[in-house]
Chain A
Amino acid sequence: MAVQQLSGEALAEKVSAGVPDSLDLAIDNPAENVLWVKPSRVADVASFLKTDAGLDFNFLNSITAIDYINHFEVVYHLTSLDKQHTAIIKTRLDGREELSLPSVYHLWRGADFQEREIWDLMGVSFPGHPNLKRIMLWEGFEGHPLRKDYL
């Protein structure tokens, strides 16, 4: 049986029932398989996605940040190994300075290096991460090189 990609609508229905007032509805969304979440509620939604019996997302594939000059997007790719489905969760951070997003380290250990990498290269910090320091570059390096204004 092939793995199924859950649609944004189906996810939104379940998540809005489980974690009220957590979805970011203001964003006009062209992609139909994405669930938009408010940045402050990311950890709550992630916890719901992981523990809900019907969703059961036990595997975190990747976390990515994208720099859109005026705002940043952070993208989570999740998979449920038991239910055999995947989902894409996105969140939008406005501005360029002092960006932060709740860490999901306590839910998935796999977030450890990826959150450190995003902090290192993109400059989005993750409060709640136990060891948030640079990973590819050395301590004392100035700037975050994957940002669009770095070079």
Chain B
Amino acid sequence: MKATHLGRTTYSSQLVAESFLAMPIQTEPMTVNIGPQHPSTHGVFRLRVTFDGEEILEVEPIFGYLHRGTEKLAEERNYTQIVTLTDRLDYVSSMINNQAYCLAVEELLCVEVPQRAKYLRTLTAELQRVASHLMGIGFFLQDLGTLGTPLMYAFRSREKILDLFEMLCGARITLSYMRPGGVFFDAPDDFWPALDQFLRDFDTEFKELEQLILENEIVMVRTRGVSVLPLELAINASVSGPVLRASGCDWDWRKKAPYDAYDRMEFDVPTATGGDNYDRFWVRIQEIHQSIRMVRQCIQQIEPGPTRADVPLILRPKPGTEAYGRVEASKGELAFYVVSDGGISPYRMKVRSPSLMNLTVTEHLLVGWKLADMIVTLGSLDINLGEVDR
């Protein structure tokens, strides 16, 4: 009984399997709209993606949902007021935006910034880079599906940096701490002990985070070799910042054209050669170490003195002058191209936004990969839509 029964069932299931295998599988490409609400909690970004099953066939990034016309608004504000507009570009690294804009205006006016202001700028810009990278790392892991834990670890340290900024200028996100000619206020007396305390805490906190994620097997398996960006394409597509450095180019404007106090800072430029999601993530972690190193040097080297050059409230650069003030922002090369006609506001202000330029390679990075990798890859680019759309 057993034999015949089993024999019959085996035979029939084999027949079914064979007939299925002989049938060609029909799949149909499907176009899906991802976003515009928070595809990876980085902002209102929309992707039109065509899938074959789970595999990505075509990608079209669509943006502009956060377009506020910053460049047009700048033509109606005076030079000092524009600092507040720059806060709202990459709103997780406003310090660095302020810095780039102020450098451009100072170049227009030929103003020399006092030493103490240069150090304060370098210090705050590096703290801001740490905050921005922590957020980048946290959300990258969140996109991987870690559901909160590393994100909260990252935010724990970021909050403390925001507290420090609050001591400096009263704001936490939209800082407007820097002004053409220097910084708005000198740091209050209780800022320095608080900064020391932060650095002490940060060492242990960040070590904890690193132990949790850096050699994590799941992170490695999900990100190693995924969405590789070849160096040649990266350069050709004007990609900059950690994304470029993860592909093997050690280009960093803080080294190549030092501004503020960077010529007196000792730091390394971390690079990787793989150009995959893991390398982009790894480069950011290493940059945090370098930034903390620079913060320590700033504390050692800073000396008392004035914090703002003697500039009038209403600035009038000479007509026909122009400046391209660029910095190495947390996302890449951020530049403000300001053209003056002698008036109290710029004739034209262009923002060269690193996030927008880094998105040029989206299609190359995503096509051929699976749906689950898509959000992770976007997270590894660490874009900020305030800056993409402007």
Q: Interface on A for B, CB 8 Å cutoff?
A: 2-3, 30-31, 58-62, 64, 66-67, 75, 77, 81, 84, 88, 108-114, 121, 134-138, 145-146, 151
Contacts and interface: CB of A to CB of B under 8 A. Distances in A.
Given A3-B256, A66-B339, A81-B251, A110 B348 contact: no
Closest 6 CB pairs of A and B: A110-B238, A109-B237, A62-B352, A136-B64, A64-B350, A136-B67
B356 A2 contact: no
Contacts of B264: none
B335 A110 contact: no
Interface in B199-217: none
B360 interface: yes
A109 B64 contact: no
A30 B339 CA distance: 14
B337 A110 contact: no
B72 A146 contact: yes
B346 to A, nearest CB: 11
Interface string B62-74: 0110010101100
B335 A61 contact: yes
Nearest to B352: A62
Given A58-B236, A109-B238, A136-B63, 6 more contacts: A31-B322, A62-B352, A64-B337, A81-B235, A110-B357, A136-B390
B241 to A, nearest CB: 13
Nearest to B390: A136
Interface in B342-358: 347-348, 350, 352, 356-357
A2 B258 contact: yes
B131 to A, nearest CB: 26
A55 to B, nearest CB: 15
Contacts of B324: 77, 88
Contact of A113 (B67, B347, B359): B359
What is the interface of chain A mostly: helix, strand, loop, or mixed?
A: loop
B257 interface: yes
A81 B249 contact: yes
B311 interface: no
A134 B64 CA distance: 10
A59 B95 CA distance: 26
A84 B252 CA distance: 12
Given A2-B258, A81-B251, A62 B337 contact: yes
Contacts of A81: 235, 249, 251
9 contacts: A30-B320, A58-B236, A64-B348, A66-B339, A66-B347, A66-B348, A77-B324, A110-B237, A145-B72
A2 B252 CA distance: 11
Contact of A135 (B63, B71, B251, B322): B63
Given A66-B347, A81-B249, A110-B357, A59 B235 contact: yes
Q: How large is the interface on B (under 10, 10 to 19, 20 to 34, 35 or more residues)?
A: 35 or more
A83 B347 CA distance: 33
B328 interface: no
A109 B236 contact: yes
B333 interface: yes
B279 interface: no
A146 B73 CA distance: 10
B276 interface: no
Contact of A108 (B236, B350, B352, B359): B236
Nearest to A64: B350
A138 B36 CA distance: 14
Contacts of B194: none
Interface in B299-346: 320, 322, 324, 326, 333, 335, 337, 339
B69 A109 contact: no
A91 to B, nearest CB: 15
Nearest to A68: B347
Contacts of B126: none
Interface string B271-294: 000000000000000000000000
Nearest to A137: B64
A110 B69 contact: no
Contacts of B72: 145-146, 151
A113 B249 contact: no
Contacts of A2: 256-258
Contacts of B251: 81
B233 interface: yes
Nearest to B319: A30
A112 B237 CA distance: 8
A77 B350 CA distance: 12
